[in-house]
A and B are shown apart, each in its own frame.
Chain A
Amino acid sequence: MAQRVQDKKPKRNKTAQSWIDDNVAEQKVRYRAIVKEMEDLWPQRKKWYAEFLKVVQTRGFNMDGDILVKIPKKDVPKEPKRKHKVVF
């Protein structure tokens, strides 16, 4: 097995571990705030989805680059009953 510089890194010291722990904790808070913000956007997003599904039937769906394909009404997806989310 070939060695890399990364394999020679000294063990992480307490200062560095504490720096990571603090920033990971803040990142968790930030993540939760993003999830909430994106959930609150749902009424607006629902309108955007409806508009998008209209556009792919009229103007067309960008299949590759500028190639537009109009999607027949029968192929337009319908909203499923399961919970929908955009942040994972």
Chain B
Amino acid sequence: MARPHIEPYVELDSPFKKFDLNGFKGSHYKVLSMDTDTGACTLKVRFDGGFSRKPGMSYSDMEVFVLKGGIKVGKEVWGEGHYAFVPAGMHLGALKVPRGAEALVMYNDSEPSYVESNRNHQLSLTAGFSSFNSYNDAPWGPGNLVSPSVATGVGIKVLHFDPLTQAISFLYYMSPEFQQNNISYHDCAEESYHIWGDSWMMQFGELPTGGYFWRPPWIDHGAFKCKLGCIAFGRTDSKLHNYFHYNPWATPDENKLRAAAHLYRQRPQLYDWTAGHGHNHPHGPPDFQYPDYQDDAQVRQLHGNTPNSTKPAAKKKATRKKAGASKR
């Protein structure tokens, strides 16, 4: 089981809870969505003034988007709109929050973890690190990042792009009086948090400031409207493709079939090769350009193959004991 469909969820009225895990004590959090097996999650975290933490690393890829206030991270200051992608095992400098801050904090592979350390883990893929202010240091681009595309009136800033899965993290806006008269679905999961402003979708109604969704693949959303404008943070877990249609009663199963029918019509050679000739590569076919891609945490997550270490220790022991008992 991955993350359930959480849509819409307006978090502003839910209280923060004390964050009592190692490395987070002194902060507060709300869960926006969580993978029920791995503990991978998207949190809204409130760091009260005076919060501090020594340098350290996590065993999960982590993304941070600062909503309010400022966080000193080593020599950097992460202010409002700051985005960071921190690969698993890469150490971050000491955290200091002099006057309080709120941030979206996302752990992509497992539950939040922190190990005090002033060096990187030897296996850390540190080249993937990025850290910049998305409001000041990234340009808005048109919304037609992918084709078929959204209508004019949507702008996008790509903050992170995963070359293996083509998952993206991005800021987007909808302009006042934006409308798009179609129903959309994707073959990837999609997530969004409204930083400011309202938008409307025909299935779910208004999504206001503080509105959030985690939407698994194949689920219809739209038509779309936005009365006064909005700005939001979004992510996908793999390549974004817009499948547009106008049947409000279509089901996810029908949407899957329709997506496969697209592939059949538009990429016939690929469809025939993968589906027509019984090629069986349960862990993914070889890719000469990325020979180790099957080991990538995000790729494994997408195919339900998570690292063993995300399973709880107690359960594994119990399983071993049981196995031992049956042997005897």
Are the CB atoms of B59 and A5 closer together than 8 Å? yes
A residues in contact with B220, CB < 8 Å = 86
Residue in A4, A24, A76 whose Cβ sees the most chain B Cβ within 10 Å: A4
Cβ-defined partner of B223 (8 Å) among A3, A20, A52: A52
Are the CB atoms of A87 and B7 closer together than 8 Å? yes
Are the CB atoms of B59 and A64 closer together than 8 Å? no
Are the CB atoms of A16 and B307 closer together than 8 Å? no
A residues in contact with B169, CB < 8 Å = none
Are the CB atoms of A86 and B310 closer together than 8 Å? no
| B55 is an interface residue with CB less than 8 A from chain A | no
How far, in whole Å, are A21 and B10 apart by their CA atoms in the complex?
22
Q: Which residue of B lies closest to A86 (CB)?
A: B203
How far, in whole Å, are A11 and B180 apart by their CA atoms in the complex?
47
Choose, from B76-84, B190-198, B244-252, B267-275, the stretch at the interface: B244-252
* Docked complex: B192-251 residues within 8 A CB-CB of A: 202-205, 216, 219-220, 223, 244, 246-249
Cβ-defined partner of A88 (8 Å) among B148, B219, B310: B219
Q: Which residue of A lies closest to B242 (CB)?
A: A64
Are the CB atoms of B7 and A24 closer together than 8 Å? no
How far, in whole Å, are A69 and B258 apart by their CA atoms in the complex?
19
Number of interface residues of A (CB under 8 A): 54
One digit per residue, 1 when the CB lies within 8 angstroms of any chain A CB and 0 when it does not, for chain B 276-318 equals 0000000000000000101111000000000111111110100
Cβ-defined partner of A61 (8 Å) among B124, B147, B181: B181
Are the CB atoms of A14 and B7 closer together than 8 Å? no
Interface of B is mostly: loop
Are the CB atoms of A63 and B244 closer together than 8 Å? yes
| B152 is an interface residue with CB less than 8 A from chain A | yes
Are the CB atoms of B21 and A16 closer together than 8 Å? yes
* Docked complex: A24-77 residues within 8 A CB-CB of B: 24, 26-27, 30-31, 34, 38, 41, 44-45, 48-49, 52-53, 55-56, 59-66, 68, 71, 76-77
Q: Which residue of B lies closest to A23 (CB)?
A: B31
Are the CB atoms of B33 and A27 closer together than 8 Å? yes
Cβ-defined partner of A5 (8 Å) among B89, B144, B149: B89
Cβ-defined partner of A8 (8 Å) among B203, B205, B244, B309: B309
B residues in contact with A53, CB < 8 Å = 246, 248
| B39 is an interface residue with CB less than 8 A from chain A | yes
* Docked complex: B152-198 residues within 8 A CB-CB of A: 152, 180-182
Closest CB of chain B to A10's CB: distance in Å? 7
| B123 is an interface residue with CB less than 8 A from chain A | yes
Known: A9-B310, A20-B111. A63 touches B182 (CB 8 A): yes
Are the CB atoms of A64 and B148 closer together than 8 Å? yes
Known: A1-B295, A31-B4. A6 touches B181 (CB 8 A): no
Closest CB of chain B to A28's CB: distance in Å? 8
Which of A's residues lie within 8 Å of B, judged by CB?
Answer: 1-17, 19-20, 23-24, 26-27, 30-31, 34, 38, 41, 44-45, 48-49, 52-53, 55-56, 59-66, 68, 71, 76-77, 79-80, 84, 86-88
- Complex A-B: 13 CB contacts under 8 Å: A4-B88, A6-B60, A6-B88, A7-B308, A12-B110, A12-B310, A17-B312, A30-B6, A45-B202, A55-B181, A62-B182, A63-B244, A88-B5
Which of B's residues lie within 8 Å of A, judged by CB?
Answer: 4-9, 20-22, 31, 33-34, 36, 39, 41, 59-60, 87-89, 109-111, 113, 121, 123-125, 144, 147-152, 180-182, 202-205, 216, 219-220, 223, 244, 246-249, 252, 292, 294-297, 307-314, 316
